[in-house]
Amino acid sequence: MESILARIIASWAYGHSVLPQWMGLGELEFRRLLHHHFPTIQPQNLLGFDHSPMCENDEEMDDLRNLLINNRAQRSLSEHWLVEILIYGCLGNDHLWQDLGLWSRADLSKLMADHFTPLYELNSKNMKWKKFLYKRLCETEGIYTCRAPSCEACADYSVCFAPED
């Protein structure tokens, strides 16, 4: 957990993610996260880049929050912080792992497997994470935007399942 979280924090601190000020956690929660995982790091040394204003849609963020909260592995206090970080990552325009500042999709898949296990298991065909999360939101609301009978039969299959470089 610490290595993946360290990558997210380092990328944010150097402006290589879409995460806003305090990584979207607010100052107090950011300090708590640092104290919990990296007690020797001083928050004032990690001012990071504020990529605000992001297009924050409160309803969309609440929907993502509910999806993630309801699918936590409930193994760690950190999942509370990860929910918020993932939400802000989803608001970016690139692959989720890139928007978070992770170094590979494998990092994100490990994070999902460890902390959002039900979602990880549902993504058995390895759909791109951001697409998968939004697809789950649509399915929860009974909205089916894809007309294909299955992902395999869809003309846009490669858009959702192609390798992420």
Question: Quick one: pLDDT at residue 44?
Answer: 74
Give the DSSP per-residue string, 138-153. HHHTT-----SSSGGG
For the cut 90, the answer to whether the pLDDT of residue 143 exceeds it is no
| pLDDT-based confidence at residue 138 (cuts at 50, 70, 90) | confident
Question: For residue 131, is pLDDT > 70?
Answer: yes
What is the reported pLDDT for 164?
A: 66
Measured CA distances, 90 to 37, 68, 118, 130, 149 (Å): 23, 12, 18, 6, 26
Q: What is the mean pLDDT of residues 113-134?
A: 96
Give the dihedral sign, CA 160/58/25/84. Answer: negative
Task: Please tell me which residue, 156 or 15, carries the higher pLDDT value.
Answer: 15
Q: Is the pLDDT of residue 151 over 60?
A: no
How far apart (Å, rounded) are the C-alpha atoms in residues 82 and 90?
A: 12
pLDDT of 149:
46
> Using the 8-state DSSP alphabet, how is residue 24 labeled?
G
Which of the four pLDDT bands, split at 50, 70 and 90, describes residue 161?
A: low
Mean pLDDT throughout 77-97? 96
Q: Are 1 and 114 in contact (CB under 8 A)?
A: yes
In this prediction, residue 153 carries a pLDDT of 47
Range in 60-74, 110-124, 134-148 the model is least confident about: 134-148
Using only C-alpha atoms, what is the Rg of the chain?
Answer: 16
Distance CA 115, CA 68 (A): 10
More confident: 126 or 154: 126
Q: Domain ranges in the chain? A: 2-161
